[in-house]
Amino acid sequence: MTSATQKIDIDESAAGRFADRWKAARLRALSRFTQSRKNLDEYALLKEIELSFHEDVLRTVFDESRRCGVDVAKEVGRTLSVCEISNLISESRVSCFCEIWERDDAGLSRYLKRIGCPQRNSAFVCDYWREAADGLVMGLGDDARFARHRSLGHGDDECLDFVYTAWEKKHQFGSVPMAIEEALTDIKEDLSKLGAEFTLIGFSEGVLFYRLMGTEGPLCGVGRKLLLDQLVKKLKSAAIHIRPNIEFRDVTPRPVLEGA
């Protein structure tokens, strides 16, 4: 269990060791996809990586960062609280995170807003730091989670990150802008007439997360596929009026079939 009363001391020396350790973990991930073994500039290394390897890089940096977080927690002798994690990550020497994380008035979570970034035109670089932080946070704390609601690299006007506890699910995704909700009202009404409930779950980094359920329970089989096909067509048509390059992602829980 994460202790809410104990605190770890983060002096300059300890912060430096942590920053070096996490960077080494990230460089191990990058070394699998680049030829530059002596280059320690992550931004330069990221530019070398071919597009076909981007997804693999993101998975690998998450895994290596999580191992780093687990090792740090083992040395401390316990998992860390959200407050401790946000304090630690602010000492990481990573420009995305090296500011004071604010406390969310409604809970235990911490958040960080940024409006300037030299890599604002690279969605891949934003994704790299998001996955690295996500893995690290999960390794440091059993109940800790990381979420990025907005990012300059994905066309938002600012970056917004959260470190939160797993039960504060409201922070898993960003809020859905009113303009998007209004643009999709007709789609929700059309699907309702067909016996389906279309629910907007959240909006993060240009991705709209939704759930498609039957009004009387989960949809499955051919019925679900037909409704989903209709929904995808309607969403693609509506996207023109919502936001360029918006993505739609279905997060509906899948029913487990008996005997499967």
Per-residue pLDDT of the chain (260 residues; tens, 9 = 90+): 333 334 555 566 677 889 999 999 999 999 999 877 677 789 889 998 999 999 999 999 999 999 999 999 999 899 999 999 999 999 999 989 988 999 987 778 999 999 877 666 789 999 999 999 999 999 999 899 999 999 999 989 999 999 999 988 899 999 999 988 988 898 888 888 888 888 999 999 999 999 988 776 666 666 677 787 888 888 888 877 778 788 999 898 765 443 43
Q: What is the dihedral of CA 153, 148, 219, 224, to 10 degrees?
A: 10
199 and 110 both lie in a single domain: no
pTM: predicted TM-score of the whole model, two decimal places: 0.86
Question: Residue 60: inside a domain, yes or no?
Answer: yes
163 and 234 both lie in a single domain: no
121 and 28 both lie in a single domain: yes
Residue bearing tokens 């960062």: 65
221 and 165 both lie in a single domain: no
Question: Residue 255: inside a domain, yes or no?
Answer: no
Q: Which of 73, 65, 82, 103 has the alpha carbon at shortest distance from 166?
A: 82
191 and 104 both lie in a single domain: no
Sheet with 196-204, side-by-side order of all strands = 196-204, 207-214, 247-250
Q: Of 171, 192, 212, which residue constitutes the final position of a domain?
A: 171
* Structural domain range at position 216: 178-250
Question: Residue 154: inside a domain, yes or no?
Answer: yes
Tell me which amino acid residue 259 is: G
Q: Of 115, 143, 171, which residue constitutes the final position of a domain?
A: 171
For 184, phi and psi rounded to 5 degrees? -105, 5
26 and 110 both lie in a single domain: yes
CATH number, domain of 48, equals 3.30.1380
